[in-house]
A and B are shown apart, each in its own frame.
Chain A
């Protein structure tokens, strides 16, 4: 690699890749918070489940792991719907403390459940494109990461079209903007809750598949840190704001990687929260948030 610009370009690309995982995680989290106003600390566990579903089907089928997105997303949507119906709906509106403890309980259930089935050893898998790189100027970019960025963009465009153009999407947005008003207009908000939770979990599942395909290791306990980052991102971007989650995810991915480059890897996690504090001091509602959220 020649020159500082190339090195910085490479770091920016790693930031873009990290940002993609964060964006998918935070977008789902924000969607759920926007509609249900529920704080689900177990959201990182959906990402973890996504990695194991991908791993499991990859091992038994040998399919191209990118195709397994068509399995991990629907399965996680189903899992999200079940979790919403069984765990969050009964306690909806009873106080944040109940939501927090339900989600903490879910973390242990998912972690131990996966550890029982797959053991708690670290695992990784190899993409069929793992050894392919594409040269863009002086930078050599692994093909997998380019595919991950493209897939993330496609998922976000698809989500945007769904929310803007379809009746169900509009109903979800209406429920997010004014729950009581939506009910008065005949929207079944409980159905929207269920659907939103499912979509949020599905997005986390997609993030899990992309995490596994990128060659990163995973274990049953891997979900907590990305989930905390996901919360930092939605607070940074603004609670309930999808564009905020996208910009926030990208910002955190970039800042983390440039900080690791300039200051060392020890600062990687700390900088996310320093950035969060700075943004909240300047703009307490987050970058795209509205007062009252």
Chain B
């Protein structure tokens, strides 16, 4: 009996010592988080998964680089923390995006969100972000209707991309300043002949945003452009033959195509190959992706595209070294080239890290305030004033955009882009393709 008492007393003392000891060793970790959680909203499955993979891998590359340098200093905690990325697969759908963002915010308790591609998908989960007040650096969703909506509080959302007005303005400026004079000269058209533009657009906020921007720009700047066709198509469409037949009957000089990558490839192929539409297609920046060049093949030769980051056409100047390093590091890690959405998300992770460092805290409100005033030197994409900063009213960053033209590369058997506009960035001259036929005189 007495022996039992001694044993139980010793065991009890050992237990108390163990608990106290474990408490002592756990104390430092219990004072704060051990990592910074950043949610990456990307279409990892579904029709936009090619771009989604690009977004995730580029974010991962940025986080690895930051962590290799010791992480992000957080003043309030008195130490640096590593970044842990958490994927949020929006499944290329509005519902999938809502589900993913809800999980990232409520279950994973992320400090910041980055990513977001489709305007339609992002617009569906904006209310969740607004309600939970989580800073969100959106690298896609170019529709101005997404960044400038007034039905909910967008003050926690920061848009690191040109909006549809910006990209439409760059494209239309190129068509007016370069394309129209070139066809007038080549085909002997009179100087007052209006350029005949057919707009084929995705029936989504992204597509409608571009169409509205183009239609508003022409009368506002009194441009010599006539919209001869407005043809919508549903998101994910792969059969454009009838729409292209309709466009062909309107005799356009150029097709302004507002598409995703998986739509532009069949549209370009079907235009040239099936419908015999020998008209140049002007595409939007989100298609400047290695998969477009490999997918479109010979039918891409001579086509043009507004861009802000091109895997194969690196503008000379202050961003060249950073771009080449990013492309090389991405190739080493994943094999292949990153696209524009990857570059924008890579930069977004760095901007998020800079905002956390500036805020000195993982508090979402403080990070949001830091983002509102942040000034990060431009990285790969050429920014206005050389700085990534968000405008006060709608929190949009501003880019210097350019236009590329595709020329066949015999070595790879694929077309490759050459920057042909603006003057300050161009690496080659725009030329009318041999196969091109203009619209009605």
Give the B-binding residues of A (Cβ under 8 A): 1, 4, 7, 10-11, 14-15, 17-18, 115, 120-122, 124, 126, 130-131, 133, 140, 142, 145, 215-219, 221-222, 225, 257-258, 260-261, 264-266, 268-269
Contact = CB atoms under 8 A, between A and B. Distances in A.
A265 B262 contact: no
Interface of B: 45-47, 49-50, 203, 231-234, 236-243, 245-246, 248-249, 261-262, 265-266, 269-270, 273-276, 291, 295, 297
Given A120-B49, A260-B243, A131 B273 contact: yes
Contacts of A126: 297
B206 to A, nearest CB: 14
Given A121-B50, A261-B246, A266-B232, 9 more contacts: A1-B248, A120-B50, A122-B261, A124-B265, A126-B297, A221-B47, A260-B242, A264-B243, A268-B234
Contacts of A115: 45
Contact of B238 (A7, A121, A217): A217
Nearest to B241: A14
Contacts of B291: 121-122
Contact of B233 (A15, A120, A221, A266): A266
Contacts of A260: 233, 242-243, 246
Contacts of B261: 122
Contacts of B236: 225
23 contacts: A1-B249, A10-B245, A10-B275, A11-B242, A14-B239, A14-B245, A15-B242, A122-B262, A215-B269, A216-B239, A217-B238, A217-B262, A217-B266, A221-B46, A257-B242, A260-B233, A260-B246, A264-B243, A265-B232, A265-B233, A265-B242, A265-B243, A268-B234
B231 A264 contact: yes
A7 B47 CA distance: 31
A254 B5 CA distance: 92
B406 to A, nearest CB: 17
A140 B265 contact: no
B300 to A, nearest CB: 13
Contact of A266 (B203, B241, B246, B295): B203
Looking at B237, B242, B274, the one whose CB has the most chain A CB atoms below 10 A away is B242
A24 to B, nearest CB: 16
A220 to B, nearest CB: 9
B209 to A, nearest CB: 15
